[in-house]
Structure 1
Amino acid sequence: MFRFKIAFSIVVFTFMAVFIFSACDNSANEKKEKSHADKVARGEFLVTFGGCGDCHTPKVFTPKGPVLDTTKMLSGSPSTTQISEVDANLVKPGKWVLFTQDITAAVGPWGASFAANLTPDNETGIGSWNEEMFINAMRTGKHLGAGRPIMPPMPWELVGHHSDDDLKAMFAYLKSLKPVKNKVPDYMPPDIVFAQK
């Protein structure tokens, strides 16, 4: 009988230990999932109220005017965007900046720039980027954090003032989006945009 009580106690203790440890492990996982969900929600707030979609999302035209095309959210300037020859006198410093009708591309003294695809598509968006690349790009104004300059009108100087936690949240949100395959046109320097007549 004594052996039975000891064996029974060991079995009960083992089940209790397994239950307690698995509950602890689950709560740690739930906290981690909640923490990631909170980060994504914070990033969505920052990206939305920062107006990122104003330039990085193509528009559809309605009787009320242009509205964000939610099927292409943050996918950048459409691959079909074309810039016609522009009169350089219109965009001299102190003059105008011109935008395409969907506000995803701009022409100014710097040339023509196209809003980047911020979706996690591996080939045409930020799918291959890591958090560090994103933060460096926003802090240095360099594509991928080390490449060519990020051109106007992208306000990377303002975005770069966000805390590391805010930039990480923005990146987490962008990585949570549905990938949209859209090869944004390449930047065009002034000598190409302002062709000689």
Structure 2
Amino acid sequence: MATTTTKTTTVTADLAISLDGCIAGPGVTPDNPGGDGAEPLFEWIHNLASWRERQGMTGGEENRDSELMREWFDATGAVVMGRMMYDTGADFWGENPPFRTPVLVLTHRPHPTLVKQGGTTFTFVTEGIHSALAQARKAAGDRNVDIAGGARTVRQYLRAGLIDELHLHMVPALLGDGLRLFEGVGAGRLEQVRAEATPLATHLKYRVVR
């Protein structure tokens, strides 16, 4: 009798990070979502063809960075983020956010689900990180769940041992201050899966060893 194998959802965290470990600068607010001085973390993405496609634009650079960004988009079936990330990004994303998947937003403030263009929905979860992840797994089907941020949200999932892979795009910049991804996370072991350098960033993939 033939047997079927059920794919286990991979939980990822895919983030741009500075050489000194920051994923945002200091002073993050809804009007300043990346924080002060954080432009180098994100400006390399803006002209990638795959990123522009997700913003409803044409053109852009078709290069290895764009291929890796498209790989993330194609593999991700649901996203989890914190309320701060949602609040700081909502105006920038507008009515056609780039996720094109269900997004579960961790919050202490209930809010009705928002349905946006392009397949993005924002569902606000007040029951904590495990509930949000369970809902994201169900929504993702056989694709990955990505813990998108911000730093506090990723740290919570790392401390709880719920992230399987870290995808870090290391930008050649030092912020000096800001939101440091691994602050307070504690000790752990990672297995390197990929290390690929381009002129714009070094793309690192690690599997979390349990």
Structure with more of its chain in helix, by fraction = 1
Structure having the higher strand fraction is 2
Pick the structure with greater CA Rg: 1
Instruction: Please state which band the TM-score falls in when normalised by the shorter chain.
Output: under 0.3
- Higher relative contact order, structure no. (Cα contacts within 8 Å, ≥ 6 residues apart): 2
**TM-score, structure 2 as length reference:** 0.23
